[in-house]
Every structure is written in structure tokens, then in C-alpha cells.
Amino acid sequence: MTHPIFTPGKSLLAGVCLTLSLAGFMAPAAARAQTAAAPSAPAGPNPLLRPWDGPYGGVPPFDQVKVEQFKPALEAAMAENLREVEAIAGQTQTPTFENTIAALERAGRRLDEVRTVYGIWAGTLSSPEVQAIEREMSPRLAAFADQISQNERLFRRIEAVYTSPAKKQLTPEQQRLTWVHYNSFVRAGAKLDAAAKARLSAINQQLAGLFTRFSQNVLADETDSVLVLKTPADLGGLPASLRDDAANAATARQLTAAGAITNTRSSIEPFLTYSDQRKLREKAWRMFVNRGDNGGAHDNNAIITQILQLRAERARLLGYPTHAHWRLDNTMAKTPEKAMALMEEVWTPAVARVKQEVADMQALANKEGATFNIAPWDYRYYAEKVRKARYDLDQNEVKQYLQLDKMREGMFWMAGELFNFRFASVTNVPVYHPDVKVWEVTDRTSGRHVGLWYFDPYARPGKRSGAWMNAYRSQQRLDGKAVTTIVSNNANFVKGKEGAPTLISWTDAITLFHEFGHALHGLSSNVTYPSLSGTSVVRDYVEFPSQVLENWLPTAPVLQRFAVHYQTGQPIPQALVDRLERAGTFNQGFETTEFLASALLDMKMHLAGSQKIDPDKFERETLAQLGMPGELVMRHRTPQFSHVFASDAYSAGYYSYLWSVVLAADAYSAFTEAGGPYDKAVAQRLTKHVFSVGNTVDPAEGYRAFRGRDPRIDALMRKRGFPIAAKKAPAPTNKAAGKKRPAGK
């Protein structure tokens, strides 16, 4: 699964602190101001404060950035933004869409650009110096957001436009934008009294600091912990490519050892799948699942307790029974009960499937002479053995055909067929790390420039784990001038030897296509106002475009053209593809249960209200009540659950991946029911009603316009090989209340 998207700029609208930002906390777009801090350096010499220049409408000045520039740049940009917003709030003219709502859309562009670069450094080039700035600036950015969302004069102007009869004369997009701004301010406490506003702002500042500490603690455990493979025997069972990766990791860390396994998912999961050293598998597993849960300076349990208490208090201040109710009020699901109903319907068959999977693995282990019961560090290892025995499918054999560069080319080809995009490598823009490459995206027919796509694929110290999408600039045409988007995809693949291809697993390839779906969502955007652009949609809808794109990896044209053997160049054999297809529902019990355990725990923690929670104890007791199989753990254990505790982004919202995958499975059925995965008419409908509209329409209405009906859960259950219940939970049909910032998984 991927990590949440961070899209800075106008799309960070709404509410107190809803986005998982790479910098700990980023203020809402409508809230572009700062507390009365004066700039600590003049604007002129600081390259972060100059408008982006260069080709393609301007690009980030990555080659000019110095860490010590971030704080003064943020301070200066926030002060400028404060003046802009005060000018809007202090007008004497009657509030109109143009002088209030559109004016807010124009404000804060310099701050957007500064925050973009700052966020990239915090998430991918983190250092003690960057982290110190984060710890100082996160609470100040939270106060900055509240200063604007609690500005009474500004809110009265927004409310006047929202309630004016003249609103009916606005375009549908303008009406939607007006509602989004109004709803965002209300949800951020604009209608509270002075005392409540003060307490709300204090809570938000405390949370921002805690989010930063949580994130930095997880990063510390990921960076500092490593499993050293001392002898060649410790590499037992690992295929050649993983042995090379381990050796390269040891060399990079200047270790005198046969290899090293770093504490990231892309390194741990292959080791757990292939290593025949059970004791080392257990060490690797414990190192990974105990991130943030080791006691000492980097332990996150006390931080989680504080975050949950503050969220509960904030929800009560805003008039909601729990944080979960506040978060879901502005989603497609609308209520925690509807999200829980969907999760519970899938949970039961998923757990039943796990029991079958464990029985199969235990039988194989016993046959090999095992004297132990399957433990969590055995699951992937024996699942792979069962897969090979049952389907004659060795994932390492598949991996030989999955070269990262070729898979990227396959994504480009697919994007051309579905979205009419062409990708061309460019070298005339600066990058922030030598591993980052850039492509220009154009329309294949007209040659029109669409945007830029940056790709940062490899793990390195100081880069948070996982995979995600960023938007450095949002598409818009606010003043009649087309502003094109700049997006990026980020991953943590283990870099191979110099000159050798990077081989990735089938799961990694799926993740690659998933994140590219987010990028295509941004690149396809065709709206007027930046706050409604691209991926700026509600939390349980934003994963839909990315989830649906996963379906194109196994299509015949992609595999035949781009899944070629890294040594021979021969395409993947059809017999191997057939085995992949037959094994399509294999291990779905594990995949679904580990995800749902995290999603259910997330929801239950936030439905607990003011109850003071001991995270480890609550996790154990809740999983026991759910009947969690002991042979696996949550995909994200609580002390490292960055989706939920590094910001508010996916708090009480991790369920949204399941909600979105229901939409994705149902949507892909539209292709299979028509002319196949590359059916032009269906692809055009998908672009028109989903990928291009951003938040200009209610997502439920947009989906119905694409599909011709509401989504059904049946396609998901069939895809995962689960029985379809006679009485189903409500599919995602509810109207969305507004927009949230996205994420990955």
C-alpha cells in the first residue's frame, strides 16, 4: 500500500489540519496567513521567495536551496500572505464571488511554492537541521491556519457570498468552490465563540507538534535500525538479486558484512518471503513491526495517547460526538457506521480465508519436518512455498521480468492509450537529488504541454518509507491563463548495482501503477480554480483513480511489451502469465485482513471519544475482540501508523482504501463489459467524469455519470475470491460533503 499524497498549494483547503504533509503540518489554502512573526531575512536574496522561473511555466529551484533558507522563507511568505488575506477581509465593497472567493484563490501563491520545496526536503532529504525547523515551524503553521479560519470578517464575507441569492447566477464550478470554502471554514471552527476558538487553536498547535514528533520517531527507527547479515549463510534462501541488494545496502552503510536488511517495507518483505533463516526472519520482522514501539526517546505510545485525547476534545468543541464523526461528515461514507458496515462485511470472509491459508502453510511446513506453528515471520515464507506448489508460481521467477525502467515505460504506454499522454525525458530542469528524473507530458494528438512528472524511485537515509504522489503545482486557469501541473511519484525501491537493472516484485509493480494513477489524476485535471484541482477530492474517493489503475498492469499489451527478462530481453511467457492469473485470488485472506485490521483499529480508536487509550493495550484487546488471526499483524501497527498519527490525513479514514477499491473494481468492470481494458469510449468517460473534474462535482454524481449507476460491491468480492453475501453493506453511494486532501496507501 502507499502513503498519503501530499499536494501543496490551493488544494490544501478546508479544516483544521487534514493533510499528511511532508513537513508535519501544512495550513489550509484558504488560510494563507501567519501569526505576527516578522521575516528573519530579507526576501530578495532568498531563492525560495522568488517566483519559479525557467521552462514549462516555471519549475522549483531545487539547485539553489539551502536548509537555512526555509525558516526565513516561510516567515516572509506567511507575512505576505497575511497582508493579502487582510486586504480581502478588510474590503468595504459588498462581498462577491470575485472580490472574496476568487481573491482567496489568488492569495498565497508564494507561500504555496515555499511550502512545496520545504515539504520535499522534510520528506525525502530529512536531516537533523531540517527536523529542527519542522519542530519549530509545525505549531506556527498550525496557528497560521487558525488565524485565518477564525478571521470573523473574512468568514462573514465568505458566508455572505454563500448565502446570497446571486450565487445562483454563478457557474456550477463557482458554486461548488463557494460551498467548499464556506464548509471548510465552518468545519475549522469559524462559528465558535472566542474562548472556543482560542482553545481550538491551542489544540491544533499541540497536535502539529505531536505529529512532527511522531513522524520523526518513525523515521529514526527506520534509519537507525538495520539487520546485519554477518556471513554468507545468513543470506540463505535469498535469490541473487536480493543478495546483491543486501550487499549494496551493507556497502552503503559501510558495514563489514555479507549483507544488510534496512528497516523499510521494500527491504523487509522480500527478506521475509525468501530467507530460509527462521531466526533472522523473526529479527527482521520484529525490527519492522516495532518501529515506534521500542521504549526510549523514539517511542510513540505516549504521543498517540495525547493525540487521541486532543482529537476527541477538538471534535466536541466542533459539535461532533467523536473525531470519527467529524472526519467522516465530510466524506462519501458520511458516518462511521456506514464505513464500519462495509469493513465488517469484508472482514468475516477475509479471516475465514486466512484460516484456510494458514492450514495449507502448516501442512506444508509439517511435511518439511517443522516443529513449530506458523508465526507472523513465517507467513510470507510459507505462503510463497504454497504458491509455488499449488500454482507452479515462483514470485522470484516473475521478478526477473519486472525491470523498474521497463515497468515505467509500460505505464507511459498505458497512459497514452487511456489518456492520450506522451512522456518525454527532459534534463533542462533542476532536481533535488541525482536519483530524480523528469519527464514532460504532452497531448499525443495536439502536442499541447500538459505538465511535468518527476520520479524519485529509490530508498535513501532521510527519506520516509513507502510510496506516494506529490503535486508541486496544481493545474488551473483562474485568470484565463493556463497553469499546468507538476506532479511526482516517490518510492523506496532498493537501488541495484551501478548499470544493473532494478528488479521489482509483482506487488511493487502494482504499487507503481497505483501511485501513477494518482499522478494521472493530477495530470488529467481540467478545472478553473486551484482549490478544486486534480486530487483535491474527499478522502474516500481520492484512492479510486489510483486503485483502478492497478488493473492495467496485468493486461496483455503491458506484459507482452514491457515485462521482458532482464538478461534475455524475452517477454514474459504466456504460461507464466496464466499461472499469475490463476493465482490471482491467492493469499487474499492475508492481504485483506492485514489492511482491515489497521482500518478497523483506526476507526475504533477514534470512536472511543474521550476514553484515555493505552495504544499497545487497546491494540491487543481490540484485535482479540475482532478475532484477529495470530499468524499475522496489522499492516500498520499503531506506533508506526503514519497515515493516522503523522497528521490528521487518514485519521478515522484508513477505511477509505476499501471504499475506493469497491469503486475501482466496479469501474474496471465497465471496461470488461465493453470492449476490454483499452476501450476508448469507456476511457473517455472515465477521464471526463472522474480524472479531469477534480472537486468541481460531487464524487457520487461524478461516478454515476461515468458508470450509469451507483457502484456495487460484488466485483470486489469476486476479484478477491470471497463469497458474495445475500445481504450486502451499502456500497459507496452517499453524496460527499466536500473535499479533503488525498493520500496513497
Cα 6–Cα 429–Cα 65 angle in degrees, nearest 5: 65
CB 408 within 8 A of CB 515: no
Would you state the cell numbers that stand for residue 487, as one nine-digit string? Answer: 506532479
- For cell 527482521, the residue is 284
CB 40 within 8 A of CB 212: no
- 3-state secondary structure (DSSP) of residue 592: helix
For residue 467, which phi and psi values (nearest 5 degrees)? -140, 145
CB 602 within 8 A of CB 539: no
For residue 318, which phi and psi values (nearest 5 degrees)? -85, 0
- 3-state secondary structure (DSSP) of residue 59: strand
Q: Alpha helix locations (H) across 608-712? A: 615-626, 642-645, 656-673, 680-686, 699-707
**Sign of the alpha-carbon dihedral angle for 7, 592, 298, 494:** negative
Catalytic residues: 515
Q: Alpha helix locations (H) across 550-614? A: 556-562, 574-582, 588-607
CB 130 within 8 A of CB 219: no
Nearest to 347 by CA among 543, 584, 600: 600
Instruction: State the CB neighbour count (10 A cutoff) for residue 375.
Output: 14
For residue 692, which phi and psi values (nearest 5 degrees)? -95, -15
**Cα–Cα distance between 509 and 713 in angstroms, integer?**
25
Instruction: State the CB neighbour count (10 A cutoff) for residue 612.
Output: 11
**Cα–Cα distance between 454 and 456 in angstroms, integer?**
7
For residue 534, which phi and psi values (nearest 5 degrees)? 55, -120
CB 478 within 8 A of CB 466: no
- For cell 521552462, the residue is 55
CB 530 within 8 A of CB 474: yes
Quote the radius of gyration of the chain (alpha carbons, Å). Answer: 25
Could you say which DSSP state residue 264 is in? Answer: S
- 3-state secondary structure (DSSP) of residue 660: helix
**Cα–Cα distance between 331 and 736 in angstroms, integer?**
5
The residues, ordered by sequence, that sit 6+ positions from 367 with a Cβ below 8 Å of its Cβ are none
**Cα–Cα distance between 386 and 368 in angstroms, integer?**
12
Cα 613–Cα 619–Cα 623 angle in degrees, nearest 5: 135
**Sign of the alpha-carbon dihedral angle for 350, 352, 356, 361:** positive
- For cell 476514553, the residue is 611
Taking the CA atoms of residue 711, residue 716, residue 719 and residue 720 in that order, the dihedral angle to the nearest 10 degrees is 180
Nearest to 506 by CA among 647, 425, 404: 404
3-state SS of 480-510 is CCCECEEEEEEEEECCCCCCCCCECCHHHHH
User: Would you call 428 exposed, middle or buried from its count of C-beta atoms within 10 A (0-12, 13-18, 19+)?
Assistant: exposed
DSSP per residue over 321-375, as a string?
Answer: SSHHHHHHTTSSS-SHHHHHHHHHHHHHHHHHHHHHHHHHHHHHHHHTT--S---
